[in-house]
Every structure is written in C-alpha cells, then in structure tokens.
C-alpha cells in the first residue's frame, strides 16, 4: 500500500472540535478546521453538499484538481450515507487533492460517521494511515462466527496507525490465495485458523487463539515498520 495519505479532517466549531480531539482516535482524523462560510469557497477548494454536487463532479476534470474538498454531511440523511459513499468513490478516485474535510451534522457522533470515509480513502489507496481490513463475503465453507470475528479484530485494530493490509478470511481453502496481496492474514477452518503472510502459510493455530496470534503478529510488524521509518528518517 502506498505511503501516501490524503488528510482526513473535520470542520467544526471550536468547542466541538475540542471535544472530538479527546474522543476521536487519531487514526480517524488528521486535524480540525473552522466551519466553512456560506459564501463560495476559494478556487482551489470544492464543496459537496448534495447529490447534485456529486453527479456534477463525476463529469468534471478541472474541478477535481482542487487541493481541498469539503464534504458537508448536513445536506444528507443518515439513510443516504451508504449511497453517498458509493457515488463518491469514482469521484475521489480521480480527485488529486490533499485535504478531505468532513462537515458533520449537529448532534452526531464523529466516531460513527468518520470510519466509513476513512475506509473509503484507504480502499482507494488515497490514505495509508491505519489498518485496512480485507475480508470475504463468506460461503458454505465458513464454519465459524465469521462476522463477529471480523468485528472483534477490527475493534482491536482501530487505534493502530501503521499502514498494513490485514486479511480476515472465512476459509483456509481459498482465503490465502484470494488475499495473497495482504501483508498478513488469517483464514478460518474447522476449529482452526491458518496464519499467512503475502499468501504464504506461516502456521496453524486453534480458533480460540487465532485472533490473539494475529494481533500479536501485527504488533510486531508495526514495531518493525516504525523502526524502519525512524532509521530511514535518520539517514535522510
């Protein structure tokens, strides 16, 4: 995964921004901005506040060179967020800017609203901060409570800033091959889990210890990545 990150920021009033700095994980937010005014933004900034704005940008080339993109979620209902993310994907894929700034609706929890947009940027390889989880839709070979396992692993990784692709797959038959591009992963079988790196089998563990083993390996990889980055910085 490229070590390039679009900055994911939140536009909020000072009081709310102060609260979010304490409540929101730094892996989800790279900074805070004042709320944009009602007037038009500078020429190198975009505002998306309606689906019409999104559709217009789908056919635009010049506008997608803007340095900053403000996404004003106050113009969308909670039920519209999933559709908004789908429509935004092709727009962001072509956007070449640096700052993606989200304006949250009043009285919503940033911890609930920001993760889908952080995941969208990571999936488009626009943001390398934090863990990107790769998973499968499950099939008849899956013999464990797979969705719950994914959720528990995801919850424990949300504070980690190291850019790693982590695969959590439902079966050991196809899992390692399908997720061979992942830095590390685990594929579940009948009461066991197969740990793999870059598609190559490392070892087999029991299903009870699978999550802990995976997380311990990720922790080691994160420390090694941090040390390598520090050494590279000292040599520069």
Tens of pLDDT, residues 37-56: 665 555 578 889 999 999 99
Report the C-alpha gap between 122 and 129 in whole angstroms.
Answer: 8
Taking 80 as the threshold, does the pLDDT of residue 118 lie above it?
yes
Backbone angles phi, psi at 190, to 5 degrees: -80, 100
DSSP strand E in 38-163: where? 45-48, 68-72, 99-103, 131-135
The string over 168-193, giving b where at least 16 C-beta atoms fall within 10 Å of a residue's C-beta and e elsewhere, is: bbbbbeebbebbeebbbbbbbbeebb
Q: How would residue 236 be classed by pLDDT, with cut points 50, 70 and 90?
A: low
Q: Which of 79-83, 131-135, 200-204 is the least confident region? A: 131-135
pLDDT digit string, tens, across residues 156-172: 777 777 778 888 887 77
105, 74 in Cβ contact below 8 A?
yes
SS3 7: strand
Dig out the tokens for 8 from the structure.
Answer: 């994911």
Distance between CA atoms of residues 77 and 147, nearest Å: 27
- For the residues of 207-232, what is the DSSP string, one character each? HHHHHHHHHHHHHHHHHHHHHHHHHH
Burial class (CB in 10 A: 0-12, 13-18, 19+), 207: middle
Q: What is the DSSP letter of 63?
A: G
Residue 119 reports pLDDT greater than 60: yes
Q: How far is CA 42 from CA 39, 68, 70, 86, 95, in A?
A: 9, 10, 11, 27, 17
User: What's the rounded Cα separation, in Å, for the pair 135 and 143?
Assistant: 15
Which has more pLDDT, 19 or 90?
Answer: 90
Per-residue model confidence as pLDDT tens digits over 68-92: 999 999 889 889 999 999 999 999 9
Instruction: Look over the chain and give the mean of its residue pLDDT values, rounded to a whole number.
Output: 82
Residues whose CB is less than 8 angstroms from the CB of residue 109 and which lie 6 or more positions away in sequence, other chains included = none
Give domain limits for the chain. 7-123, 131-235
Q: Which one is predicted more confidently, 74 or 133?
A: 74
Q: Which CATH number fits domain 131-235: 1.10.443.10, 3.30.413.10, 2.40.50.140, 3.40.50.1240?
A: 3.30.413.10
pLDDT reported for residue 3: 52
* Averaged pLDDT for residues 55-70: 88
pLDDT at 1 over 50: no
């Amino acid at each position: 995964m490229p070590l390039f990150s679009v900055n994911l920021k939140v536009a909020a009033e000072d009081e709310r921004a102060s609260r979010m700095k304490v409540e929101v994980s730094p892996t989800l937010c790279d900074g805070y901005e004042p709320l944009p005014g009602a007037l038009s933004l500078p020429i190198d900034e975009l505002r998306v506040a309606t689906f019409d704005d999104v559709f217009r940008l789908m056919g635009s080339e010049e506008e997608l060179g803007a340095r900053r993109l403000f996404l004003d979620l106050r113009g969308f209902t909670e039920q519209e967020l999933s559709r908004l993310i789908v429509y935004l994907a092709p727009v962001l894929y072509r956007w070449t800017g640096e700052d993606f700034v989200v304006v949250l609706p009043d009285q919503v929890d940033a911890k609930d609203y920001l993760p889908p947009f952080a995941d969208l940027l990571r999936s488009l390889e626009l943001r390398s901060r934090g863990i990107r989880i790769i998973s499968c839709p499950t099939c008849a070979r899956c013999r464990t409570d797979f969705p719950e396992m994914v959720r528990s692993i995801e919850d424990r990784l949300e504070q980690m800033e190291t850019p790693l692709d982590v695969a959590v797959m439902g079966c050991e038959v196809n899992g390692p091959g399908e997720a061979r591009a992942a830095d590390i992963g685990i594929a579940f079988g009948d009461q066991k889990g197969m740990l793999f790196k870059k598609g190559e089998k490392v070892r087999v563990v029991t299903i009870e210890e699978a999550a802990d083993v995976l997380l311990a390996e990720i922790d080691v990889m994160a420390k090694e990545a941090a040390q390598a980055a520090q050494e590279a910085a000292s040599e520069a």
